[in-house]
Chain A
Amino acid sequence: MSRVSRHFKNLLKEISFFLFITMDKSTLGPIHYVWFAAVGSALAVVIVVLCIKEYAREWKHHQAIARRLQIKAVEEKIKTLESELPSVNEETRAKHEDRLRMMKMIRAQALAMPVKIQQIQVDSLKRVDRCTTCHTGIEDVNMNAHENPYKGHPGKYLQWHDIEKFGCTICHEGQGLSTDYMHAAHKPLRGLDRPWQKAVLSRYLIQSSCGKCHLDKEVPFAPLLSKGRDVIEKAGCSGCHKIRLYESQEKVGPSLDLLGSKVNRAWLLRWLSEPREYDPSAGLIRPRMPKFNLSKEQILALEAFLMASRNDAALKEPVEGGDPEAGALLFRESRCVTCHLVEGKGGYLGPELAGITSKVSKKWLYSYIKDTHFFQPRTKMPQFNFTEKQMSDIVEYLCEELQGEELEIPEDFENVPDSDKNSGEMVNNGKKIFMDYGCTGCHAKTGIDQGRIAPDIIGLGSRDEEGLEWGNVHGIDKYTGNWVFARLKDPILLDKKAKMPVFPFTEDEMAAATVALLSDTMEDIPSQYIVSATNRNNYPDLPGEFGKLVDKYRCRSCHVVYGDGGWVSMHPLDGEGSEVRKEWLRGYFTLPYTLRPILAERMVNLKMSDSEIDLLVNFFGSVMVLNSIPVEEYTFKEEEIAKGKSLFDKYGCISCHIMGKGGGYVGPPLTTVGDRLTTGWIYEYIKNPRYYETWSLQPDYGFSAEDARALTAYLASCKEVKKDIRISQGK
């Protein structure tokens, strides 16, 4: 033993001597051999560890498990198929054997699958994703029951978005190039030495990714995003900020011209100091006016400035003899509550009408109904065609039934002398505050046009949180989304000098708006990925007589007409002429009724004149038509009607639609649908419901042309007066 060790020592000595070539043998003491041996061994260990680590990557482990799971599933299927084989009969035997062979092929494929890094390269989106290296079964619906990363993708999202064309990180974000859990940024892990700008999005935030390509207001399967876009539109964020998709939105507030003739002073002071006092049911848009951080002096100056604009000569006294009961009838008949709230119930387009007299005078009400667009040129309210007597009735009804208490000037302002308000200095001050706080973002005022006063929030999703002003906020994750949320909740918290007011959003609405704002990442998305049904800037103002009527009756307040409008109804009117019959349309304009009893909003009775109705009906019939739907009515045989009826019963249409006496309330009633819809539309709609209405709930049964025709025949025969139907004899 000792001889061997001596020999080994000598060998070391010699090697050391060769290495330290210029050294004398005598200078190398025994300590040097120990050092040499220790360093050499450590190096060897390091190299071995390195090789092991290089070989045993995390993803190999996952791929092995995934393969085992896959093979196990296939083998179970093979087993059951083999055990069933003796008992199957002759007819299906060949099919059974085919399936067995197929399964065996899949097993062979799985066994032969090489262990390697998987990668999806999407050139047009400039992304390379290696997520499928671990998430191998992501496209396999059979793997849905397993845990991540072996799980299949939930839902049908991968059917709609081919994984080869989209990759993973365009929606999920994270670090697609990485192949281990930590570095793929599955968790944000902020505060580490290498922070990621884009970590994998949580299941709520991921909806913001939908908004990269889906530019419509309603995005299917993304309720948060859709709600957020709705909030942004209705709150009028684009009045002060430049926001993608809302660049050309109109101001959401009423014009403040002639305000002095409209409201009384006490109301205005209260409204400016606390808008939510007016309607305590705080929530979105009720009221839409946010609370500004104004001092008493500022409010007084603002009030002086606003009240200075008046034209009392324009107000007219209502005609004598208004009958409140007739007014009440008219109020209901005209469906005012489609847009206006009455004691918290009704639509959201117009202001609350309960207690209206504490805000405006009777004279104003009358004059406004009489000459709506003179006082508010851009209002969403149509110009109703009431007679003077009818107007007087309605005003009488409003003043009697919806009377509010007389408002007093708030306590703090009581001692301020009234005469101050007309001093020129005050008015000038008020004007300065009006412009400073960006009141022009929502309210038009003649002579003041200053554009957007707040910073652009284009590309908020790609902003870096380091560049944002965080103020004195502690204890929250410094992430751009949180910043937006905090900013909406209380702007002063982040920036003491912020002029942004506090909006009356609920926390849900704030979160939804944040998701929608984060969807603008400034990414260069190629046009083939963009989903946008409407081109919003198609026809900002419609020309001709039709355009005049659309403007007078403000059709676009509720409906989409040539790509613009639609705050109430989703259904665009652009193809209405192909959908409904002229006779029905004429009747509907004269006396609108509800098509869907389930909805609170109903078509407003505008009291249009006959000539106007004629013009509209003709325009709809000749211009607003879809080329894909034939103008000619189909003709049907008796057998087809009978077959259609049996199909109607077979598919249980009655569970959603009313037919005759009973039925569901999800879809519109079909009892007299033959009077309303054209045969061409019924046929096309049954064949392909979501082609015309992407949001439609109507199931796509995949009817054959023959079945669809039969159903159309049956539905077209459902008329109030059946004599109309044309039945071709013979042939």
Chain B
Amino acid sequence: MIKRLKRFAEWLVRTQIWSSIFRQGWPDTERNRILTTINTLVFHLHPIKVKSHGIKVKYTFCLGGISFFLFIVETITGVLLMFYYRPTVEYAYQDMKDLEFAVTFGLFLRNMHRWAAHGMVLTVIIHMCRVFYTGSYKPPREYNWCVGVSLLVLTLLLSFTGYLLPWDQLAYWAVTVGTNMAKATPVLGAEGPFHVLSEMTDICFYLRGSVDISENTLLRFYVLHCIALPLAAVGLMGIHFWRVRKDGGISGPL
């Protein structure tokens, strides 16, 4: 059985399709393993060699990895949900109900998207705690800590903007309360300290696109949730992973 698998692998790497895509042989020699890491877009973020303690689960609990995995789950389920969802006052709630009750596996999709979102917020925060308690934010990793904090903020914003999209009572009032906080911003908010702007020009108005939560808010949050924030998160994640490697590897003292 194993011999047969091996023979299959040997044949596979010789085919034109394989060799045109991967440009190196089966990663069972030192050289091929190095080439695999260097030649592959996704893998080249990783170091060529990992210290053996680096893959000990107890060392990092794989929290960053789980966060990234959940982000991928969010992306896939999110794209599928976008097929059924229209961000208008008339249809948003109806489409959500359609997903729950008429679309096959729609409820599963919604729930998965929701629980993965909750999970992501949780793992990102625990990830931050782990980094803090193991002192991994110290130089030369201080820049990556800042990128990580930005990613935490993006995660929370993604969660918050997604909250409005069902357009039900909970969504409406939660976002009303949430965006009301922006009014208390110093200088920029209409009700904050040192306020200079009116209710029609302050930061809360730009967030909502209107004085109250309305169709404009829904569209704004939809675009932020589906395009702007995920793109920003992907960019920052790229930097984050790259810097993990450049700043001295996944774990361990420098």
Task: Contact check, B97 vs A175: say whether CB atoms are below 8 A apart.
Answer: yes
Q: Which of A23, A126, A128, A183 contacts B100 (CB 8 A)?
A: A183
How would residues 2 to 37 of chain A score, 1 for a CB under 8 Å from any chain B CB and 0 otherwise?
000001001100100000011100010000000000
Is B36 located at the chain interface by the 8 A CB criterion? yes
Q: Which chain A positions have C-beta within 8 A of B105?
A: 50, 54
- Are the C-beta atoms of B104 and A54 separated by less than 8 Å? yes
Residues of B near A126 (CB, < 8 A) are: 90
Residues of B within 8 A of A602 (CB): none
Residues of A contacting B1 in the complex (Cβ-Cβ under 8 angstroms): 7, 10-11
Least Cβ–Cβ distance between A239 and chain B, in angstroms: 31
Q: How far is the CA of A177 from the CA of B99 in the complex (A)?
A: 10
Across the interface, A178 reaches (CB within 8 A) one of B2, B55, B97, B173, namely: B97
A128 to B101, CA, bound (A): 13
Instruction: State A195–B90 Cα separation when bound (angstroms).
Output: 19
B27 is an interface residue with CB less than 8 A from chain A: yes
Give 1 or 0 for each of B90-123: 1 = CB within 8 Å of chain A CB: 1000100110111011011000000000000000
Most buried by B among A7, A22, A117, A183: A22
- The 8 A CB mask of B136-174 against A (1 = contact, 0 = none) is 000000000000000000000000000000001110010
B44 part of interface (Cβ distance < 8 Å): no
| CB of B130 closer than 8 Å to a CB of A | no
Q: In the assembly, what is the distance between CA of A117 and CA of B98, in Å?
A: 11
What residue in chain A is nearest B46 (Cβ atoms)? A22
CA gap between A89 and B76 in the complex, in Å? 72
Q: Which of A7, A23, A130, A194 contacts B170 (CB 8 A)?
A: A194
Determine whether the beta carbon of B55 is less than 8 Å from that of A27: yes
Total count of chain A residues near the partner, CB < 8 A: 27
Q: Which residues of chain A have C-beta atoms less than 8 A from B97's C-beta?
A: 175, 177-178
Contact of B2 among A14, A193, A194 (CB under 8 A): A14
A177 touches B55 (CB 8 A): no
- Contacting pair A195 B33 (CB below 8 A): no
Contacts of A26-74 to chain B: CB distance below 8 A: 27, 50, 54
B168 touches A194 (CB 8 A): yes
B5 at the interface (CB under 8 A from A): yes
Give bound CA distance, A706 to B108, whole Å: 68
**With an 8 A cutoff between CB atoms, is A698 at the interface?**
no
Question: What chain B residues lie within 8 Å of A22 (beta carbons)?
Answer: 27, 33, 36-37, 50
Given contacts A22-B27, A195-B169, A196-B169, contact A54 B101 (CB under 8 A): no
Whole-angstrom distance between the alpha carbons of A274 and B55 in the complex? 85
* Cβ-defined contact, A23 with B55, below 8 A: yes
Flag if A177 contacts B104 (CB, 8 Å). Answer: no
Q: How far is the CB of B74 from chain A (nearest CB, A)?
A: 18
Inter-chain contacts of B170 with A (CB < 8 A): 193-195
Q: Does A466 count as interface, using CB distance less than 8 angstroms?
A: yes
**A residues in contact with B108, CB < 8 Å:** 50, 54
Chain A residues engaging chain B, CB cutoff 8 angstroms: 7, 10-11, 14, 21-23, 27, 50, 54, 117, 126, 128, 130, 175, 177-180, 183, 193-197, 464, 466
Q: Chain B interface (Cβ within 8 Å of chain A)?
A: 1-2, 5, 27, 33, 36-37, 50, 52, 55, 90, 94, 97-98, 100-102, 104-105, 107-108, 168-170, 173
| Interface pairs A-B: 4 shortest CB-CB | A177-B97, A179-B101, A194-B170, A195-B169
